[in-house]
Amino acid sequence: MSRIELTNLRKEYGNVVAVNDLNLTIEDGEFIVLVGPSGCGKTTTLRMIAGFEDPTAGEIRLDGSIVNDLEPRDRDLGMVFQSHALFPHKNVADNIVFGLRMQKVGKEEQRRKMHEVAELVRISHLLAKMPGQCSGGESQRIALARTLVTEPSNFLLDEPLSSLDAKLRRELRAECDRLHEQLQKTFVYVTHDQEEAMTLADRIVVMDAGEIVQMGSPIDIYSNPVSYFVADFFGNPAMNLIEGEFVQNGSAEFRSDSFTVSLPEKYKDISPGKGTFGIRPENVQVSKANGGDTRNIGLVEPLGKDTLLYFETAAERPFVAIVEGTESHSSGEPVELSFPGDNMFLFDGTGDRIRA
């Protein structure tokens, strides 16, 4: 049983608050992903859990006991770094057994465990090589192996895939998932990539400006964002977010320079004022022009299975719709757009979600 609890955790650098009174409990065996833009405090949080940074205030508990005062090596943690941090002067095998040597494990045992873990992450053929001779993906596997072999109860992963190219990332992401399945240990994973967060996490913790903005399962975060920030951060292509205002004109309406949308019944009491209307591209319904409000398709971007349609709007960002497959649309073609009421997201002037 291993559980990480952060209570009122705070970190200040001079007068900059990097982490602002954070409260978070990470359950045993959970795969949790801290995600947010650069400077949101996610890495600082991870480094405080690891013990490389001292919190300015608050406490960190592992298994119920406070570890603020423990050195990193006494916290029963494993960590994988963004730069891999392999020891360049030791070969792969020596890199892997380093932690075991520190624990004074017997030579035989070291060898056995090293081969076992090398097997597990599929790097047995690399053991005699030097880190410099290995590719980025291989290095990351080695770094994983080096951490896995010491069998810590918790794994901290600091943007482990950010230095790799897209294809390798997908591959190693699957690998991380598989390892977590197999080991059933606690994983705390930091990334700025929403896609990584969506695919890996049991639970996502979205951070911004040192605070937790939203916590929940990937589906929850995706389908029920609490704010403009979260809605904008998750999803690719991103949610269409149109600035405008809500008006009460007999019925509730949203108006902007490019769109006028009448809001469904549940929003009938919406208070007038500035706000944002949001809809995910896959929820936009595109139909043949039929006497209604037509607009012309701008760019057409076929993705293979789906096709992206772009519409010019008064705003900087084009409006995007996804239509399925080979359905033939061409640039310049007039179409009508409609938005199902259940899939609309409305945000008030401060960016908070408006719920019915």
Query: Which tokens is 14 given?
Result: 């001079």
Which of these, 318, 249, 233, 244, lies nearest to 284 by C-alpha position? 318
Integer Cα distance of 4 and 328 in angstroms: 52
The reply on whether position 66 binds another protein by CB under 8 A is yes
Print the SS3 string covering 206-270.
EEECCEEEEEECHHHHHHCCCEHHHHHHCCCCCCEEEEEEEEEECEEEEECCCCEEECCHHHCCC
Query: Which tokens is 221 given?
Result: 């975060």
The nearest distance, CB 121 to another protein, in angstroms, is 16
Binding to another protein in span 175-194, by CB under 8 A: 190, 192
Integer Cα distance of 341 and 277 in angstroms: 11
The reply on whether position 73 binds another protein by CB under 8 A is yes
The residue from 4, 9, 78, 189 that contacts another protein (CB under 8 A) is 78
The reply on whether position 145 binds another protein by CB under 8 A is no
The residue from 40, 114, 117, 213 that contacts another protein (CB under 8 A) is 40
The reply on whether position 314 binds another protein by CB under 8 A is no
Q: Of 46 and 346, which has the nearer Cβ to another protein?
A: 46
The reply on whether position 50 binds another protein by CB under 8 A is yes
The residue from 17, 21, 28, 81 that contacts another protein (CB under 8 A) is 81
Single-letter amino acid, residue 245: E
Please give the size of the binding site for another protein, defined by CB under 8 A: 48
The residue from 2, 36, 138, 337 that contacts another protein (CB under 8 A) is 36
Q: Of 35 and 337, which has the nearer Cβ to another protein?
A: 35
The reply on whether position 102 binds another protein by CB under 8 A is yes
The residue from 17, 21, 82, 245 that contacts another protein (CB under 8 A) is 82
The reply on whether position 160 binds another protein by CB under 8 A is no
The reply on whether position 196 binds another protein by CB under 8 A is no
- Write the burial class of residue 326 (CB in 10 Å: 0-12 exposed, 13-18 middle, 19+ buried): exposed
The nearest distance, CB 165 to another protein, in angstroms, is 19
Integer Cα distance of 222 and 55 in angstroms: 31
Q: What ranges in the chain are assigned the alpha helix state H?
A: 42-50, 92-102, 107-120, 136-148, 166-183, 194-200, 218-223, 228-233
Single-letter amino acid, residue 109: E
CA–chain centroid gap for 276, Å, is 23
Of the listed pieces 83-91, 114-122, 195-203, 326-334, which binds another protein according to CB under 8 A? 83-91
**Chain residues that interact with another protein, rule: CB under 8 A:** 18, 34, 36, 38-47, 50-52, 54-55, 57, 59, 64, 66, 68-69, 71-73, 77-79, 81-83, 85-89, 98-99, 102-103, 146-147, 150, 159, 190, 192
